[in-house]
Structure 1
Amino acid sequence: MTEAERILLDLLNIERLEVDLFRGTGSGGETPTRIFGGQVIAQALAAAYRTVEDRLCHSLHAYFIRPGDPSIPVIYQVDRARDGGSFTTRRVVAIQHGKQILNMSASFHVKDDGWDHQHPMPDVLGPDNHPTREDFRQKYINRVPEWLKPQLLRERPIDVREVDPLDVLTPEKSDDRNSLWFRMSAADQVDPITQHLLLAYASDMGLLTSGMRPHGLSWFSGEINGASLDHALWFHAPVQFQNWHLYAMESPWTGQGRSFTRGSIYAQDGTLVASVAQEGLLRPARKKS
């Protein structure tokens, strides 16, 4: 297990303060200046799971209300909304500095019988045919400003291979469809609940990029004021995140300072594991006077 993988698993191991009150670490995720949205979602889901027995999450719906401060912990307050015969519902509020930074509803379901169908996985080349994160670092290390180099070189827990990457410093206008392969090798050591937490964390990666592609934008351009506004995730099949998964994303609409994106997450054998939808802030950055 790498140090980055250990840090991520520690982030998901939240502390119980009271019966329905929990504390999670703020620092250590994908982004250093504010808490990565997937981290808050995963910790909120972890808090909800600590109040549920014998059921797995099938869906969650979250709103990001304020940016998270990575310098302090996050408090998670769980409301046990309903314990039904087949479904359990929880509401979780994430708090920093006495204010909400996220609220989330999550639903849990017993294993049930029914009909099955799914859309097929897109036909793309496998992960071994695409650049690694190390390839990405080597390509840009001598092209980015000095202040960006520590962030570029920082080890990450999730192994990512973009299918059709654009040059992040000089991106050309492109189709909104955006796919990547991802996994975390150390996930082979965790239980099904932690598998859900890891996928929830990773599901916030790459989404807003789809909305940028038709406009020739990237996070490195300095032109964007962007952030996740809300996030919905549906689990369809068991997660084995130590194996490669294809995250196929598209942005059917961007406008009025917002961008809507949806995604499908497939296991490498073609099983549709999860679906995602998100709206994000995407507007021009204010120029410094």
Structure 2
Amino acid sequence: MERGFGVRLRYVNNPPRLAAACEAGQQPRSSIWVRAAGEAPTDRALSAALLAYASDMCALDPVLKPHGLWWGDGSATGFSMDHSMWFHAPSRVDEWILVDQLSPALRDSRGLAIADMFTRGGELLCTIAQQGSMRVTR
């Protein structure tokens, strides 16, 4: 499955719209392959900015997964409150990058997601932490 503008996303497991329907109670984890949809920039700062954009597109998905919720079906709404990234190595965003995400906490309408981004060869590119505000709408 692909979605997004400028970035291609492919879920390793069921995408959130399917996981919400059939996987309530599952682990708060999600793995996604991402890459630039077009020609990759050669500028390192621009590549890092594209990684940041890609990471924000789906970072809070694992927060909702154990509760059978998803942004796109109207069962939940929310927004990012804080998004931090630590870059460990330069990246090539024209190659597939694995985003391994997990959510250690959801309480009082605030969720935390943590993710690592890896090259296909297993090199750690960056670490992400995002906190979001969430509301159940059904």
Scaled by the length of structure 1, what TM-score is found?
0.44
Give the unaligned 5+ runs of structure 2.
none
Q: In structure 1, what is the Cα distance between the partners aligned to 2:73 and 2:22?
A: 9
Give 1:221 shift: 2.5
* Residue-by-residue CA offset, 1:165-187 (whole Å, 9 max, x unaligned): 14616243121110000001534
1:195-238 per-residue CA deviation (whole Å, 9 max, x = no partner) reads: 11111111112111100100001112212121111011000001
Q: Does 1:240 align with 2:100?
A: no
Determine helix, strand or coil for the equivalent of 1:217: coil
2:17 aligns with: 168
After superposition, the Cα gap between the structure-2 partners of 1:160 and 1:167, relative to the gap in structure 1 and judged at 3 Å, is: closer
The 1-side partners of 2:126 and 2:91 are apart by 9
Alpha carbons of 1:227 and 1:200: their partners in 2 closer, same or farther (altered >3 Å)?
same
Letter in 2 for 1:193: A
More strand by share: 2
1:66-95 CA-partner distances (Å, limit 9, x unpaired):
xxxxxxxxxxxxxxxxxxxxxxxxxxxxxx
Q: How does 1:262-273 map to 2 (within 5 A)?
A: 262-273=114-125
Which residue type is aligned with residue 245 of structure 1?
I
Match of 1:203?
Answer: 55
**Per chain length, whose mean CA-contact separation is higher, i.e. which structure has more relative contact order (CA < 8 Å, sep 6+)?**
2
Partner SS, residue 269 of structure 1: coil
1:212 aligns with: 64
Q: Distance in 2 between matches of 1:171 and 1:282?
A: 21
| Matches of 2:125 and 2:116, distance apart in 1 | 8
Q: CA RMSD in A?
A: 1.9
Q: TM-score normalised to the size of structure 2?
A: 0.88
Alignment of 1:13-92 (within 5 A): none
Q: Does 2:65 correspond to 1:224?
A: no
Percent same amino acid at aligned positions?
Answer: 33
1:191 aligns to what?
43
| Matching residue within 242, 246, 254 for 2:106 | 254
Instruction: Give the distance between the partners of 2:47 and 2:108, measured in 1 at CA.
Output: 36
Secondary structure of the corresponding residue to residue 196 of structure 1? helix
Instruction: Work out the number of aligned pairs and report it.
Output: 135
For 2:10, give the aligned amino acid.
R
> Would the alpha carbon gap of residues 240 and 166 (structure 1) be closer, same or farther in structure 2, given more than 3 Å must change?
closer
Q: Please report how far the alpha carbon of residue 246 of structure 1 lies from its aligned counterpart in structure 2 after TM superposition.
A: 0.2
Structure 1 position 178 matched with structure 2 position 30: yes
Do the aligned residues in 1 keep the contact of 2:16 with 2:61 (CA within 8 Å)? no
Q: SS state of the match for residue 60, structure 2?
A: helix
